[in-house]
Structure 1
Amino acid sequence: MSTAALHPDSFPSVCLRWSADRLPVEVMLIDQLEPGAGDRLIATAGLRQSRHPAFVDALDEPSARLASMHPELADPTSVYSFLVGPTGHPFHRHAGHRAFTAVSGSAGAQLRFAVTDDDACAADPQAFLRALRIVEVPADALFVVRFGGGTWHQFVPSDGAAHPALFALSFHSNELGGTLTEKQQDAVRGNRADIPALTELLPAPMQRAWSAASDARDSIPTTRLTLGRPVRATPRDPSTCMRKTSGGHPANRRGAVG
């Protein structure tokens, strides 16, 4: 089930809403790099990230806190980097607001989101499946994502390809935002927080519902963002005309590897 993107002649985007009292999920496609550039950037940035003093490798999402809060100056913001590799990462959520800029791998990325009512999902885990929405971004793409606290999300490479999903720089507008546990609050106030410590994994009943729903995943509402034009096509470099953002690059085809 496909849904149309907004602003196709500018920055193709989608705004996913679940209810009037919850923030939407917004995804904006900015531009596309040369074929293979996404994988190369993710490899080099991932190596640099692994050498950072705040590097943490957990939950299939290696990450690092690059810039901390300045509470003495009433600044509650932080900046993190994170990487999602070929296996994707588990469904999870955070208490606070998130906004990040990312580059997709050379097979593209599938972004899965759900905003749910906890009581409803506890009573009926299938409610999680009914709330799911998917956004697909093309290979080697620069894009922006923004969503509110409590949004379940999972990022994976498109078509299960053997490419990393994405590398991102994430802006936390308020590290103390949302409903944090006492342990999380202490870590945040002491500038000791990291992405795993601020992460809540999908409860087991909802995870089982998702794992058992493989046959129904094609029916999840999906928006495919594409620039709809050749990437950097010039008379001196005609090879770039061969890949369209809609999936002409071989890495975008099911089962292909770079």
Structure 2
Amino acid sequence: MSRSRTIDTPDDLRDAVPEFLVPPETLDTVSPSGDRGGMIIGSGPQGEPMSTSILRPQPTRMVTVGGLYLARQIALRAMATGAWVIVATGRPEPWKILEQAAGETPDGQPVPLVQIRRLTPFDLPRSSEDAPLLVIHDGGAVPQELFPPRSAWQTTMYVLPYLHPQVGNGTAANTADLVLLQRLPANQAQLAGRIWHLHPPQVQQLTTLKDDGVIALGNMVWNPIQLVTNKREQEILGPIRRGD
């Protein structure tokens, strides 16, 4: 049985981009959970799988803090669910591995599952349950609101290399549905406590996370997670780490 899967392009792009088959290597990158938007992030304290619905029927805003490894891992796993991934960045080189991981169509053209664009406004493809959209905004520690999530099945993920004091004044962090935090220095952990109204033990925990540790923070949610990977992800991204 073929392990390739047909991915439909959004209706308004059908004339520009044909339907294509995701190569088996893309599906081998991760083993996503059964629902469309569910994504395994890692394991919990007892080794149980920890997943979250990053691609949802509602417009979704999320933030990662700590570096490119985690953000690119999430992008790979979104690709494996059949999502379109658009990266708006001022540093395209580190993201080109996503294009390489997506592979080529049967006629040798790059699979249009991934687009890497500049940090300027542009029209996004229409998202749907069959073609969810992950927009990755890699615009530094104080990002502008260029691509706010407005449609069902669209998630905008802001990649913050560290917590800047001004980030608490914007909408990216304050209104995020999900925040994934890696280890923070003490001053940034204190800032996280003020932005997200954390208790002192939670602030302290942020300073002691291991390189493979993440805190998933949401509405009434505080989940410590240990990142997990597999052989294919390691070939693409290298070992699990904090930072770029």
TM-score by length of 1: 0.26
TM-score by length of 2: 0.27
Higher relative contact order (CA 8 A, sep 6+): 1
Larger Rg: 1
